[in-house]
Structure 1
Amino acid sequence: MSNAPQPRQSLPSDEIDLFELFGAVWKQKKLVLGCTLLAGLLGVGYAYLAPRVYQVSSVLRPAAINELDALNRSEVYKLPPADALTKVAAQLDSYETRLGFFRANPALFEAFQQPGRSLEQSFEAFNNDAVRLSLPDPKNPDALNNYIRLEMQYPSGADGVAILNGFVAYAIAQQRNQVGADLKVIVNNRLNELKGKIDAARANYETGKESKIARLLEADKVKRAQLQDELGALRLQMKTQRTSRLAELDEAIAIARSIGIKHPTTPSAMGAEASPGGGQVMRTEVTNQAIPLYFMGTQALEAERAALARRTNDDFSNTRIAEIGKELRMLDANREVEVLKSRKSEDMFLQDVEPLWAEQARLRSLNIDMSALKLVTVDRQAQEPSSPIKPKKALVIAVSLVVGLMLGVLMALIWHFVQVRRQTVPTSTLDERRLPPR
C-alpha cells in the first residue's frame, strides 16, 4: 500500500485577510456607492423637507441700585437687586405664570396647538419641551455669573421672538404687581398697627380724663359735705352760745336788780358811794379778775338780752361762716372739669403719640404705585434667528453619507462571505468522500 499523501483542498483559515476584504469591497464598489448615494439622497431630503425648529434667547441681569433705591429707602420693603432677579427667575419658572401667559395670548401659540389635544395638553408640550431657563450658579458668587438666560425653541410659523419677549415682559409685570401688592399689604398693616396704637392712646386718654373728672367731682362733693357739716356745727355752736348768753344775762339782771345797779359801775365806785365824806378823790383800780357781768347794770343787760332775743341768725357774728359760704360758692362750678369737658381737639393732649403720627403721615405719603418699578435689566432681548437650529443640514447629510457608506460596506462584506461560503462547503464535502476508509 502506498503511503503517499493524497492532494487535499486546504480548509479556510480563521485569520482575516484585510487585503482580501478590501478587494472584496472594491469588487462591490458599485453597491457601496449606490448605498452611499441612496442614504445621502435620503439625508438631503430629510434636511430640506423636515420641519424647521428655531431658537431664540433672552438674558436678564440685576437692575441698577438706583432703580430700587426708592423702594428700599421706604424702610418697609427691602429688595436688593440680586433678590429682585431671583424673584423674577422664580416667576419665569412658575407654572402658573407660564399658563397665564399661554391663556392670555392664544394667537401666539396656534403653532403649538395640535389637533386632538386640549389647551392644557398643548401647553404641557410647550412648557416641557420649548422653554428652558438657565439660572445662575449659587456656588459662584461672581457678579458676571449673576444673570438669567431664557431659551425657547419653536417651529416654523410661530413668532418666537414675540412669544419670548412677551413672556419675559409678562413675568416681570407679574412680579412687579406682586411687589406692589406686598408693599400695599405691608403699608396697610403698618397703618392699622399705628391706628391701633393711637386708638389705644386715645382710649387711655379718655379713661384718664373721665377718671380725673370723677376724682375732681368727688373731691368737690366731699369738700362741700365737709363745709356744710362745719357750717351746721358752727351755727349750732353759735345758737348754743346765744342761749347760754341769754341765761347768763338773766342771772346778771337779777343780781343787778337785787343790789340796785341800774347803770354800769365798778366795785370801787360802789365802795366810794357807800363811804361818807366829801372831797374829790381819784381812784385807780387794779385787779386780775373779771368784773362780774351784773356791774353792767340792769339797763345795759336788759338791752343786750332783748337784742339777743330778737336775733334770728347768728351767721354775721362769726367770720368763718362767711369763709365757708365763699368756699361753697366756689364749689358750685369746677372750672377744671368744665375745661376738660369743653376740649374740642382732644388728640392734642394724647401722650407719646407724636412719633406715631409722624410715621403714619410718612407711610401715607409713600408711593405704592409700582408700575414704573424696574426689577431687572433686560440685557438682551430675543432677536429673529438667522437660521434654524434643527435640522442641521450639513450634519444630517454628512451622517447620512457615512451611514450609507457603512451600510454599503457591510452589504459588500456580507455578499463576499456568502460567496466564500458557497465555494468552500461543496469542495470540503467532496474531499471527505474521496478519503479511503481506515
Structure 2
Amino acid sequence: MTRISDTQANSSTDEIDLLALFQSIWQRKLLITVVTSICVVIAAAYAFISKPVYEAKAYVLPPTINEIAEFNYGRTKEAQLTAFTVKDVYGVFLRNLQAESLRRDFYTKIYLPSLTEAQRQGSQDVLYAEFSKQVTVGVASKDSPDRYAISFQNIDPTVAADWLKLFVDRANAAGLQEMIGNVTSEAEVRARNLNQQIATLRESGKGAREDLIAQLHEALLVAESIGLEKPPIISGNLSSKVSASMDGPLTYMRGAKALKAEIKNLETRVSDDPFIPKLRTLEVQQSYFQSINVNPESVAVYREDGPIELPDSPIKPKKALIIGLGLVLGVMLGIMLALIRQFISTQRTSSVPPVSVKL
C-alpha cells in the first residue's frame, strides 16, 4: 500500500513539475516571440540579399559506331591493328573530362581573368577551391552508368551556360586530339616497319644480283675456256631438258655471247625492284598507312544528350527553406533563453534566507 502511494506521489510531482515548466515558458512567450522574430528577419534578410546562383547542366553519352568508324580505318587483323570500340573512344573523352589538367587550364585561362584585380589577390588555393565547387562531373544515375552529367554554377545564368559549353568543348578537343594522335602514331609506326622491310628486301635483292653476276662471270670463264660461243644445238626431247637445266653448274652452256649480254644487263640495271618478290605489296601497304589522316569533323568521342539550356531559376539561396530554418532556430533559441531565465529566477528565490520573527 505504501509503494502505491509513493508511486502516485512521484507521478503527481512529475506532472506538477512539467506543468510548471510549461507555465514558466508561457509566461515568457513575449521573449520567445521577440527572439523568433529576430531570427526570422535575419534569415529572410540573408535569403533576399544573397546573390542568386544559377546552374547550367549538360548530359553526355557514348558516341555511335558510325561516329568512330574513321578511327578504325585500316585497323584490320591483316594490318595487325585492333579496332577501337565505342567504350575505348568514350573512355578517352571521360578521362579528359575529369582530368585535373583540364580544370587547371580552365581556371587559369577563363576563371581567373573573369575576376577583379582585388579578388585575384587572395589565396590561389582558396580561389581554386571556390572554382572547383562551381563545376561538377559525375554519373547522371545508377541506372545509366554511361550517361554523365556536367554542371556549372554562376551568379550569371548566361555565364554558367557559356562556361559549361566551353568546358565540354575543351574536353572534346582534348579527347579528339588524343584519339587522332593514337591513330596517326600507330599508323606511322606501321609505315616505319614496312619501310624497314622494304629497305631489307632491296638490300637483299642487290646482294642477290651481285651474287648472280659473280656466278655468271665464272660460267663465262668456263664457256670461253671450252670455246662455247653459243648454246649447243640439241634435237629431240633432250633439248628441252638441257635448256631447262642451264643453271647452276650448267650455266656455261648458255654460251659466252649470252652470258656476256646477261652480265652487262645485270651490271647496268638501274633498279632491282621489279625482280624482288612481295616488294610491291609492301610498298602499297606503306603508302596506305602513310596516307591515313583522320578528319576531326567526321568523328566524335561523345554524344550530347540534349542541348545546353540557359537556366531561368536559381538553385541557391532556397528562400523558403532558409526562412523556415530561421523560424525553427528562433523558437528553439527563445525557449532555451526562457528556460535559462527560469533557472536563474529559481536559483535566486531558493538562495533568499527565510525571515525569522521573534515574539
Whether the 8 Å CA contact 2:223–2:255 is kept in 1: the answer is no
Describe the superposition over 1:180-238 as per-residue Cα deviations: whole angstroms up to 9, x where unpaired: 1221111111111111101111110001001111111122134434659xxxxxxxxxx
**Distance verdict in 2 for CA 1:146–1:98, change over 3 Å:** same
Deviation at 1:83, TM superposition (A): 2.1
Which amino acid in structure 2 is aligned with residue 134 of structure 1? G
Partner of 1:124: 128
Whether the 8 Å CA contact 1:135–1:148 is kept in 2: the answer is yes
Question: Secondary structure of the residue that 1:387 maps to in structure 2?
Answer: coil
Partner of 1:134: 138
Q: Does 1:84 align with 2:84?
A: no
Whether the 8 Å CA contact 1:108–1:159 is kept in 2: the answer is no
Partner of 2:326: 400
Whether the 8 Å CA contact 1:102–1:109 is kept in 2: the answer is no
Partner of 1:105: 110
Whether the 8 Å CA contact 2:89–2:179 is kept in 1: the answer is no
Which amino acid in structure 2 is aligned with residue 165 of structure 1? K
Describe the superposition over 1:91-147 as per-residue Cα deviations: whole angstroms up to 9, x where unpaired: 0111212222334435874379824137x547622453222221489xx7x7x3311
Partner of 1:343: 269
Q: Does 1:184 align with 2:108?
A: no
Partner of 1:412: 338
Which amino acid in structure 1 is aligned with residue 60 of structure 2? L
- Work out the number of aligned pairs and report it: 317
* Match for residue 386 of structure 1 among 285, 300, 312: 312
Which stretch of the first structure deviates more once superposed, 181-190 or 216-225? Answer: 216-225
Q: Does 1:215 align with 2:215?
A: yes
Which amino acid in structure 1 is aligned with residue 281 of structure 2? P
Deviation at 1:80, TM superposition (A): 1.6
Deviation at 1:413, TM superposition (A): 1.7
- Output the aligned Cα RMSD: 3.2
**Runs of 5+ consecutive residues of structure 1 not aligned to the other structure:** 1-12, 229-326
Distance, in Å, in 2 between the alignment partners of 1:191 and 1:403 is: 74
Q: Does 1:172 align with 2:172?
A: yes
Question: Secondary structure of the residue that 1:42 maps to in structure 2?
Answer: helix
Deviation at 1:25, TM superposition (A): 1.4
Whether the 8 Å CA contact 1:176–1:375 is kept in 2: the answer is yes
With the length of structure 2 as denominator, give the TM-score of the two structures: 0.77
Partner of 1:258: none
Which amino acid in structure 2 is aligned with residue 383 of structure 1? E
Deviation at 1:355, TM superposition (A): 3.0
Distance, in Å, in 1 between the alignment partners of 2:152 and 2:52 is: 14
Distance, in Å, in 2 between the alignment partners of 1:110 and 1:157 is: 16
Partner of 2:4: none
Whether the 8 Å CA contact 1:99–1:123 is kept in 2: the answer is no
Deviation at 1:158, TM superposition (A): 7.4
**Distance verdict in 2 for CA 1:126–1:220, change over 3 Å:** farther
Question: Secondary structure of the residue that 2:150 maps to in structure 1?
Answer: strand
Deviation at 1:364, TM superposition (A): 3.5
Whether the 8 Å CA contact 1:81–1:376 is kept in 2: the answer is no
Q: What pairs up with 1:8-87 in 2 under 5 angstroms?
A: 17-75=17-75, 76=81, 78-87=83-92
Question: Secondary structure of the residue that 1:114 maps to in structure 2?
Answer: helix
Which stretch of the first structure deviates more once superposed, 359-368 or 185-194? Answer: 359-368
Describe the superposition over 1:364-418 as per-residue Cα deviations: whole angstroms up to 9, x where unpaired: 4433233432111011343222222222111110101111111111111222222
Distance, in Å, in 2 between the alignment partners of 1:62 and 1:209 is: 57
Please tell me whether Structure 1 or Structure 2 has the larger radius of gyration of its CA atoms: 1
**Runs of 5+ consecutive residues of structure 2 not aligned to the other structure:** 1-12, 76-80, 229-252
Distance, in Å, in 2 between the alignment partners of 1:136 and 1:204 is: 61
Distance, in Å, in 2 between the alignment partners of 1:117 and 1:70 is: 48
Distance, in Å, in 2 between the alignment partners of 1:329 and 1:415 is: 134
Deviation at 1:42, TM superposition (A): 0.3
Partner of 1:248: none
